[in-house]
Chain A
Amino acid sequence: MIRYLARRAGHGLLMLFGVSILMFLLFQTAPGDFLSEMKLNSQISPETMASLRVQYGLDQSLPIRYWQWAKSSARGDFGYSFFYNAPAASLLWPRARNTLLLTVPALLISWLIAVPLGVLVAGWKGKWADRLFSGGTSALLALPDVLIALLALLIALKTGIFPVGGMSSVNAQDQGWWAWLRDMGWHMLLPVAALVVGSLAIILRHVRASVCEVLESSYMRAAEGHGLPRFKLLFRYALPAAANPLISLFGLSVAVLLSVSLLIEVVMSWPGIGPLLLEAILARDLFLVIGAVMLSTVFLIAGNLLGDVLLYAFDPRIRRQA
């Protein structure tokens, strides 16, 4: 088990290394850099420009810049943001926390809804309730995430009950931690709901499909033939047998939620990684972009690692091979 995890974590590190190299290369080939816009300003002399280039290290060759960045990463700074004049890490951590604040509840809620519902719907296969759900999930799947976010904003605007974006009210922190927490929860509600709606349909369909497949199997018929109660059949016999592909999907759904989250954060002005990444890309803030991308990669790897651990814990057959 330890060796299995260590191997997986090793793969993760390799992947981080690869992503960082790729990011440097991509930025190198993209036209312009952080100082390109200043060049247009005739008030700044070429000498100043040159000294700025040296200051930011933009005059160095790619391998040297990568080496500098790697050293800085080892210190925990992950390079320096040109735009904010601060280590990239100090900007990224609070943003990452905010993004997790959206994605973790959204992940848990969508799975907690999708698994029991999916199993029940699979149990009703072919009946009208099943068809209704299939229709509903198809409609949800067809809805683009942006539209969901905009709809959520529309609801907030029309009803006036929900805050229209942001993470907290202006004076929230003055009224004690309980009020502050409630205020933040209230702000979280719509973005989390948008995320759940965006990811629920696909998970639900997968749960239904894999439970349906298991229900057709001969061991389920055998269990039914032994007179086991229906609830037990569905949840304690079919679900564990169907869990394998779902656990892999769980790891992947972290990635999907993360990318949807970036979008929703921008639309609903949630101060997560999304808006930061957007600004950084527009400003060609090299290290901040790389830092944000690396952070997303870490989340993705962590999600998949979690999936692997769960798979190991759930499936006795995998335990034997590992």
Chain B
Amino acid sequence: MTSGDLGLSKPEPLLRTLGLSVDYDAAGGAVVRALRNLDLEVAEGESVGVLGESGSGKSTLALALLHLLPRNARVVSGKVEYRGRSVTEFSAAQLREMRGGEVALISQEPALALNPVLPLRRQLADVLLAHHKVDRDAVSVRCNEMLHEVGFADPERILRAYPHELSGGQRQRVAIAQALICRPRLLIADEPLSALDAATQAEILELLQRLKRDLRLAMLFITHNAGTLAAVADNIIVMRDGEVAARGSIGKLQSSPDEYVQGMLFPEKSLVGEPRTSVSAAGERPLLEVRGLSKKFVQQRMLSRKKFAVQSLIGIDLSLRRGSTVAVLGRSGSGKSTLARCLAGFETPDSGEILVEGKPIVKPSKNKGGARNPVQMIFQDAATSINPRFTARQVIAEPLEIAKWKTDAERTVRALALMEEVGLDPAWAMRLAGEFSGGQRQRLALARALAAEPELLIMDEALSGLDMPLQAQMVRLLIDLQSRHGLTYLYISHDLNFISLFAQEVIVMEVGRIVERTAPARLAESTNPATRELVEASERLHAPGVEAAV
């Protein structure tokens, strides 16, 4: 379909919403307001940023624009116009033409945006075939070109691959190729970077900037990270609870007196305090000692006897003093998570020893007696590590139940106290975990970990899924808990956010080895290439003045 078929050819804005309000029907007849009276305009070639914390209705907006809202969502008032015509008036065929052909979407999780059982060639070619009649050779040529454009040197190999054979960054690039293969006018990017590590984020961001310039693409860039917006967006809309809290250029917003806007732009400002120095207690035995830890995984290919050993950890030495915070940094695939899983006892290392309080660790699966485990772990995604059908009380009390700790009533009292401690309203104890927001669920996970009265808390990218203001709140909470309970933290992350405010020591990992140990304040002076990459990626991602992470 040409643009003429879709409406008027006057210089209208490409896409526009007028007083758009969307409600969700929640369980039990409740209605959740997602968007309220939203006015938005994207002109041809313009890029608009949408900034807001999770739950502010950003993703709903992306879906509403493409008329892709889930079944339980309703447009209460207002409308979405594409080239001056309301999308609700579109026929099914016209809607299909618009989606992918004129307006393309990149969704949040690259890992989840591609069909896991289909080869990428088909997933890419089908998008093209859905909008254009082209013969097989042309499809193949076009797919190759497109993959070249998003920065793949060997498109043929990618086309043959399945999603699980690619890294997160590669998958996101394929998803971008999918979105752009029909040369759309407008790209809606819903948090396209949040699931990637910092170095990959910077790569993808540069790619999007380049494509926007080369293709004259209009863009709606949805994110919680003000730093990335400064790099791509001409205009920014700040959203709060489904409404527009402020709009304008980044410079104008920076001088806005609104507290919420300031919190979105400068999440670090809410964290007061000096960079922390270590609570040194010389001579005391370290809480955690790791010596010569190694672990490899063995993979085998189809129809092949060859085995590939992936060396995940090589000779890791580590020691943690009681009450300290050590940050482990590195790209995805550097072995950070394997280290965490070994320390928590989920993986058995091939060699080396792990001592906690001078004793070898107990594997959770062997811990039949329900003894208290001094090491607890919090995972990246609380949404998947917590049973959504448990009530908050059940989630927190579960480790106590397993440990056969006192009576049911006492466990409930403790669960409520823990909720209060992590900043959740104890009145919500009977709510299902699935009804909590992302940030609240991460607090639940924290409360559950604290229930076991741990000495050492391992946080495997525990904050990465949260938006910046929430991350800041969590860091404040963690520092507070540490000073109250003398906790020791091992904080694993792929970016440098809040590191200087939070950690006393930084360990940088690269392909299974520790390549650098330093103080957070001295990261910027490092000459190690792996460290430099992380520092530079973080500088590229955050516009000057927006964040002072390092």
Residues on A close to B: CB < 8 A?
Answer: 1, 126, 217-230, 232, 236-237, 240-241, 243-244, 314-317, 319-320, 322
Contacts and interface: CB of A to CB of B under 8 A. Distances in A.
Nearest to A312: B302
A250 B160 CA distance: 29
B405 interface: no
Nearest to A226: B100
A237 B98 CA distance: 20
B99 A227 contact: yes
Contacts of A217: 112
B226 to A, nearest CB: 25
Given A317-B164, A319-B302, A320-B299, A227 B113 contact: no
B113 A219 contact: yes
A228 B127 contact: yes
Q: Which 10 A-B pairs have the closest CB atoms?
A: A227-B100, A226-B100, A227-B99, A225-B105, A218-B112, A222-B113, A316-B162, A226-B127, A227-B96, A319-B302
27 contacts: A1-B302, A217-B112, A218-B107, A218-B108, A218-B112, A219-B112, A219-B114, A220-B115, A222-B112, A223-B115, A224-B68, A226-B105, A227-B127, A227-B182, A228-B127, A229-B130, A230-B92, A232-B126, A236-B126, A240-B117, A240-B118, A241-B118, A243-B117, A315-B117, A316-B162, A319-B302, A320-B164
B100 A228 contact: yes
Contact of A317 (B117, B179, B182): B117
B512 interface: no
Given A225-B100, A226-B130, A227-B96, A126 B113 contact: no
Contact of A218 (B109, B300, B303): B109
Contact of A221 (B68, B117, B164, B178): B68
Contacts, number: 99
A320 B301 contact: yes
Nearest to A126: B71
A162 to B, nearest CB: 43
B162 A1 contact: no
Interface of B: 63, 66, 68, 71, 92, 96-101, 104-105, 107-109, 112-119, 123, 126-127, 130-131, 162, 164-165, 175, 178-179, 182, 299-303
Contact of A1 (B105, B175, B303): B303
Contacts of B107: 218, 221-222, 225
A317 B114 CA distance: 14
A49 B538 CA distance: 94
Contacts of B114: 219, 222
A316 B112 CA distance: 16
A237 B123 CA distance: 9
For A219, A241, A314, A322, the residue with the greatest tally of chain B CB atoms inside 10 Å of its CB is: A219
Given A243-B117, A317-B117, 17 more contacts: A1-B302, A221-B63, A222-B107, A222-B175, A223-B123, A225-B66, A225-B100, A226-B104, A226-B179, A227-B98, A227-B99, A228-B96, A236-B126, A317-B116, A317-B162, A320-B165, A320-B302
A224 B69 CA distance: 11
Contacts of A237: 115, 118
B178 A226 contact: yes
Nearest to B95: A227
A314 B117 CA distance: 8
Contacts of B303: 1
A320 B162 CA distance: 11
Given A222-B105, A320-B302, A228 B130 contact: yes
B131 A227 contact: yes
Nearest to B188: A225
A140 to B, nearest CB: 27
Contacts of B109: 218
A307 to B, nearest CB: 16
Contacts of B301: 320
A317 B302 CA distance: 10
A228 B126 contact: yes
Contacts of A126: 71
A237 B118 CA distance: 8
B67 to A, nearest CB: 10
Contacts of A315: 117
Contacts of A223: 115, 123, 126
Contacts of B96: 227-229
Contact of B164 (A236, A243, A316): A316
A219 B115 contact: yes
A320 B299 CA distance: 8
For B98, B115, B178, the residue with the greatest tally of chain A CB atoms inside 10 Å of its CB is: B115
Nearest to A315: B117
B60 to A, nearest CB: 13
A174 B162 CA distance: 58
B99 A224 contact: yes
A71 to B, nearest CB: 38
B99 A225 contact: yes
A312 to B, nearest CB: 9
Contacts of A228: 96, 100, 126-127, 130
A184 B322 CA distance: 82
A217 B175 CA distance: 16
Given A226-B104, A228-B100, A241 B115 contact: yes
Contacts of A218: 107-109, 112-113
A316 B162 CA distance: 7
A320 B301 CA distance: 6
A199 to B, nearest CB: 26
Contacts of B115: 219-220, 223, 237, 240-241
Contacts of A222: 105, 107, 112-114, 175, 178
A320 B123 CA distance: 20
B117 A316 contact: yes
A226 B98 CA distance: 9
Contacts of A322: 300, 302
Contacts of A226: 99-100, 104-105, 126-127, 130, 178-179
A220 B105 CA distance: 13
Nearest to B178: A226
A50 B130 CA distance: 82
A217 B113 CA distance: 9
A227 B299 contact: no
A212 to B, nearest CB: 12
Nearest to B305: A3
